[in-house]
Amino acid sequence: MREIVLDTETTGLDPLRGDRLVEIGCVEMINRMPTGQTFHVYLNPERDMPQEAFAVHGLSSEFLADKPLFAAVADDFLTFIGDAPLVIHNASFDIGFINAELTKVSRAAIPRDRLVDTLTLARRKHPGVSNRLDDLCSRYAIDNSRRTKHGALLDAELLAEVYIDLIGARQSQLILSETRQSFSTGQTDAPRRQREVPLAPRITEADVAAHTAFVATLGGTPVWNEFSKET
């Protein structure tokens, strides 16, 4: 199943009062795993940047002045999201801005039945506490140290990790063995799913040769030889 985790940054809180999109970030997930495919763009809002908004995301009018208008990227954006469900934190906010921009360029609005609102999911799972993205990252031990300011792509990447925990899909993620044994009970869990399409290897032939040469200097029967028999 394909899903798109999405976040935006804007000039303010209300598109009906002239506020505009200034950044869109999207992360593709297949079967609840990020694929590495993303869509990211900064946008010229054709207006000034209020100080309150600048304090949140740090995107100035000067920085955005040479960035494309939404009309120039609308087709690429729609192609990337396709007909996949959109996973968004506080979805009504982001989709309100996106649909306002789509209306300006004579494109169909995105229906709300495509939205998966992680804020709603979080409030159901953790009632009575704050469920901001930072709070959820802390709750699920997700490293958000890079998030010194809001940024659409970074926030979408963090939200993708949060979403996996919110829906209880963390146990479905890739691990190194087919089964996992609990240290506390000794019980063996059911096998976790593997990626349907393995990621391309990043180790080059030169890396393999260098490692083989290093192992040869260890003498005796280094443990690496046991691993090499399995590959």
Residues serving a catalytic function are 150
Close Cβ partners of 15 (under 8 Å, ≥ 6 residues apart): 96, 97, 100, 101
Close Cβ partners of 136 (under 8 Å, ≥ 6 residues apart): 118, 122, 142, 162, 165, 166
C-alpha closest to that of 91 among 8, 182, 180 = 8
Answer for the pair 122, 136: CB distance below 8 angstroms, yes or no: yes
Close Cβ partners of 11 (under 8 Å, ≥ 6 residues apart): 19, 20, 22, 45, 47, 48, 49, 50, 53
Positive or negative torsion for Cα 114, 120, 124, 125: positive
57 is in an annotated binding site: yes
d(CA 121, CA 128): 13
7 is in an annotated binding site: yes
9 is in an annotated binding site: yes
Annotation: binding site for a divalent metal cation: 7, 9, 155
Annotation: binding site: 7, 9, 52, 57, 155
Annotation: binding site for substrate: 7, 9, 52, 57, 155
